Amino acid sequence: MLEYIPVRDLMRSDFAAVSTRMTVDHAASLMMEKDVPCLIVTKRSVPVGSLTERDVLEKVVAANLKPSQTIVKEVMRQGIVTTNPGTDIILAVRKMLRGSSEVIAVVENDKIVGILTKADLIRFSPTMMEISRELAKVKTAEDFGAFDETVPGYCEGCRERSDALVYHDGQYLCRDCRG
């Protein structure tokens, strides 16, 4: 069993948030200027999606759309998994895989405070060796047990250790917190 590592220890703070209505050319320049692999798309400061360089290449450049006339909303990945800084990293990885997303937004007090990318998780070592090995093997979320009914870990509600957390409304919760 891995020790408890909070998301806070591994999240990165060099991210940028953009609005759904920003044009893709502006978003792409921001990505380069800030040297970030991914943008978090927000609507009234709530994270609603993500945009990577690859999305821009595949959905805009390759599709022959004009970046100056395309808005982020049209090409972003809809929906984004969120977590909070105190969440057990293993649970965050499970959430990432469930949502088949490349990035998770870390939210605290309704504010995005960081991001966690799959690429970062794979790179981390040696603390993350075990997770890295798991992730490297993973072909599907099922392989990682992302859809297991109950998993051990620290509850995202009360932070207490439980052997039977259940995924409920986007959070891994213990029996008490599920009510």
Residue from 60, 80, 112, 174 binding Zn ion (CB under 5 A): 174
13 CB-near residues (< 8 Å, 6+ apart)? 113, 114
CA atoms within 13 A on the CB side of 96: 27
Residue from 122, 127, 157, 166 binding Zn ion (CB under 5 A): 157
What number of residues does the chain have?
A: 179
Residue from 158, 161, 164, 170 binding Zn ion (CB under 5 A): 158
Angle (CA) 127 131 136, round 5°: 125
CB of 77 closer than 8 Å to CB of 49 = yes
In order, the DSSP letters of 16-68 are EEEETTSBHHHHHHHHHHHT-SEEEEEETTEEEEEEEHHHHIIIIITTT--GG
Site for Zn ion in 10-49 (CB under 5 A): none
Nearer to Zn ion, 152 or 157 (CB): 157
Q: Which stretch binds Zn ion (CB under 5 A): 26-34, 64-72, 111-119, 171-179?
A: 171-179
Site for Zn ion in 66-95 (CB under 5 A): none
Which runs of E-coded beta strand occur in 61-154? 77-78, 81-83, 103-108, 111-117, 151-154
Q: State both tokens at 131.
A: 């997770």
Neighbours of 4 (CB within 10 A): 14
Site string for Zn ion, 117-156 (x = CB under 5 A): --------------------------------------x-
Nearer to Zn ion, 37 or 157 (CB): 157
Q: How many residues bind Zn ion (CB under 5 A)?
A: 5
Q: How far is the CB of 157 from Zn ion (least distance, A)?
A: 4
Nearer to Zn ion, 18 or 174 (CB): 174
Nearer to Zn ion, 80 or 155 (CB): 155
Nearer to Zn ion, 105 or 174 (CB): 174
Q: Which spans of this chain sit near Zn ion (rule: CB under 5 A)?
A: 155, 157-158, 174, 177
